[in-house]
Chains A and B, each alone.
Chain A
Amino acid sequence: MTTVIIAVLGAIMIAAAVLAIVQKSLLSAVIAAGAISLLASLLYIVLAAPDVAMTEAAIGSGLTTIVFLFALNKIRKEDKHG
């Protein structure tokens, strides 16, 4: 049963990673990278490490996505003004 869970999550993670690299739109790439971190936190629970799962869910799919979005906003704003 756990092998099925790991295989399905792993396939979705690899697809999201390839999507994050290949996509032309930066916004979709950033959100795909946040989805990878979220699925990785599920795998950490399967590996019996709850502290790491909590940290990865909060930092990887929360703060990293927000920092990327702030940076993208600053870049587009410079583009609009100058």
Chain B
Amino acid sequence: MTLITILGLILILIGIWGMLTQRNIIKIIIGFSIVDTGVHLIMVSIGYLKDRTAPILDSAVSQAEAVNKVVDPVPSALVLTAIVIGLAVTALMLSYAIKLYEKKGTLDINEFKELKW
């Protein structure tokens, strides 16, 4: 429904603002995780049809009338995969942060100047 789509949009904007303004690397990674949550909310809310129920066939929804009573199952499948991959990427970024802290002793992103001109 539209309210949750707007909520996801606001979460994406807050996450991008966090990634751009913060200087601590761990805060940047937290901002990335918030962007991820917002995007998943938008994707699942697009697949929602009004007044319909979950896509599982049991005593509530029989096989013959499933087409009229069931929410779209494809966005759920996509978001399931995306959540697990989001966790793996966050863990990889945190291991980068640990190695960077071991080399330089600080977590401020303005101190890492080797790639600047």
Contact = CB atoms under 8 A, between A and B. Distances in A.
Question: Do A and B touch, yes or no (CB under 8 Å, in the complex)?
Answer: yes
Interface of A: 3, 6-7, 10, 13-14, 17-18, 20-21, 26, 29-30, 33, 36-37, 40, 43-44, 46-52, 55-56, 59-60, 63-64, 67-68, 71-72, 74-75, 78, 82
Interface of B: 1, 3-4, 7, 10-11, 14-15, 17-18, 21-22, 24, 26-27, 29-31, 33-34, 37, 40-41, 44-45, 47-48, 52-56, 71, 75-76, 79-80, 83-84, 87, 90-91, 94-95, 97-98, 101-102, 105, 107
Contact of B98 (A3, A14, A64, A71): A71
Given A3-B3, A13-B11, A71-B94, A43 B41 contact: yes
B18 A10 contact: no
Given A13-B11, A36-B37, A78 B3 contact: no
Nearest to B52: A48
A50 B71 CA distance: 11
B31 to A, nearest CB: 6
